[in-house]
Chains A and B, each alone.
Chain A
């Protein structure tokens, strides 16, 4: 029995085959690694989003607790849409313990302001609600109300003046509350576009039910 030397083509084919297998293996391995990396990144993003949502909710609840029980300042002067100066006390008396106040300043998130205004305006009983907004100038206030077609009664409080008797108001907050002749704020809600359902339910509960 004699062994014959394999033809040169055999070695060439073997080299090509081995190279092919190695390349395929490398590519497959690389792809697998990429997939795992993508999955990990997706999970990490989801986890971070959950964490961020949790933090945002905790911050909202903390603000609500801070604001709950605060009192509105007495004798505060505001301006109506026509520019006429009115006493805030007269507004509270007019609505007879049923007043819902939406409060924001130009420094707060505009998406949040418009979300809250839209939810209130969608409800039939929105006539019990008023806006007290602070802008740098009355012109800014009026232009804002015109631009976004705000139909709710809105009052301008000079920027830098506190609505609350105790200094806990933060100009970045958009919040709503019910008030009565005691000027006490109850059922405080801090609006955020991260939780639109929360705002919708709040206004439905307060103004409809």
Chain B
């Protein structure tokens, strides 16, 4: 674990006072740097998890029947395209569409549209590419992936100010009070070839780096996507996608290896063991498109930790990504892990898609209207009424929806698969 103070502000006083202030700062840094030696008394022993593979699992064996459906209702001017991120906070649902409309939408828990904000452009409060949304108790931050800017809004969408970063912010979570846990490249330049990825904590207001983790050379083979960070009960977890490892960070900044994932010799297009043992080979395979991601969309609740594995054939042109995607569940209480290829239901049209968020102790998946309406179309009037009881607002039962529907559910506490 590395602690690197990053004080960067300029002091505009006389030379002497500048020297004194710098000495004081240096002294402060030295005293603080002693913290790096302050290891927790007992480092948790990482758990090695061998995976059990299942080709097909019935949805009824996987998900508790007490699921809820939240159709997101909006007028034609506020249609959501592709849902990139969902955050539940203070009885509101924040939804980021970073792919089609590039906006942030806010709904209440019954699925009623409240407001949307964020626009493409170069004016105040506008961005070129919406790449990340961070919802803290106080503010909402939107990251502009094309010019290193973090924009700050009030929870009602009022633009406050923007801050210039000197790196790309791939992914971030609120950490403690007014701090952010960030997954980002270390490099300062926009188009640099020497990019390495680290996990760090920054102060949310000053963008001052408070602590950094993973030496650069170790992080070099990690993947520049999102979906590797999650938080549950003051434990912040990070999946290192090409290393088959899940790290956790507590609120006192102690980073420890939590799980070592053992995928065995499963017949994926590429051997995971080979990837984790040979970083150069793994990077080459990643560049060629063979690996999409090994540990991706990491989520945690009280009972489970869930993530995706996407393995494409080496020549992946025209390959179906869905067919190469696996759902992995870690049963935390039993330290058992499962990898499932398909999850099927009785109707022949599965409602289940990979979870994208957590809401308390439940998982959240997005059902897009094309598929969901087809599913509704097959139901009889009685079946539709029964399903209607699952709606967050049962008065809103319809034959077709224009916007995505959120499926909120629990995996079975005793997985019977």
Q: Is A183 an interface residue (CB 8 A)?
A: no
Of A64-72, A90-98, A123-131, A135-143, the segment with at least 4 beta carbons within 8 Å of chain B is A135-143
Q: B102, A23: Cβ atoms under 8 Å?
A: no
Shortest Cβ distance from residue A67 to the other chain B in the assembled complex, whole angstroms: 14
Can you list 14 A-B contacts (CB < 8 A)?
A23-B15, A23-B19, A45-B188, A48-B192, A49-B190, A52-B189, A52-B191, A111-B146, A143-B100, A143-B101, A147-B101, A160-B319, A193-B146, A194-B191
Please classify the interface of chain B as helix (H, G, I), strand (E, B), loop, or mixed, using the class held by over half of its residues.
loop
Q: B318, A161: Cβ atoms under 8 Å?
A: yes
Q: Is B18 an interface residue (CB 8 A)?
A: yes
Q: Is B317 an interface residue (CB 8 A)?
A: yes
Q: B residues near A, CB below 8 A? A: 15-16, 18-19, 79, 81-82, 99-102, 120, 128-129, 146, 188-193, 315, 317-321, 368-370
Shortest Cβ distance from residue B16 to the other chain A in the assembled complex, whole angstroms: 6
Q: Is A55 an interface residue (CB 8 A)?
A: yes
Q: B191, A48: Cβ atoms under 8 Å?
A: yes
Q: A106, B16: Cβ atoms under 8 Å?
A: no
Chain B neighbourhood of A193, CB < 8 A = 146
Chain B neighbourhood of A146, CB < 8 A = 79
- Please measure, in the bound complex, the distance between the C-alpha atom of A135 and the C-alpha atom of B19, giving whole angstroms: 59
Shortest Cβ distance from residue A111 to the other chain B in the assembled complex, whole angstroms: 6
Shortest Cβ distance from residue B53 to the other chain A in the assembled complex, whole angstroms: 25
Shortest Cβ distance from residue B201 to the other chain A in the assembled complex, whole angstroms: 25
Chain B neighbourhood of A5, CB < 8 A = none
Q: A106, B99: Cβ atoms under 8 Å?
A: yes
Q: A143, B81: Cβ atoms under 8 Å?
A: yes
Shortest Cβ distance from residue B126 to the other chain A in the assembled complex, whole angstroms: 13
- Please measure, in the bound complex, the distance between the C-alpha atom of A146 and the C-alpha atom of B192, giving whole angstroms: 35
- Please measure, in the bound complex, the distance between the C-alpha atom of A26 and the C-alpha atom of B19, giving whole angstroms: 9
Q: Is A122 an interface residue (CB 8 A)?
A: no
Q: B190, A52: Cβ atoms under 8 Å?
A: yes
Shortest Cβ distance from residue B23 to the other chain A in the assembled complex, whole angstroms: 11
Chain B neighbourhood of A27, CB < 8 A = 15-16, 18-19
Q: Is A162 an interface residue (CB 8 A)?
A: yes
- Please measure, in the bound complex, the distance between the C-alpha atom of A45 and the C-alpha atom of B18, giving whole angstroms: 28
Q: B16, A160: Cβ atoms under 8 Å?
A: no
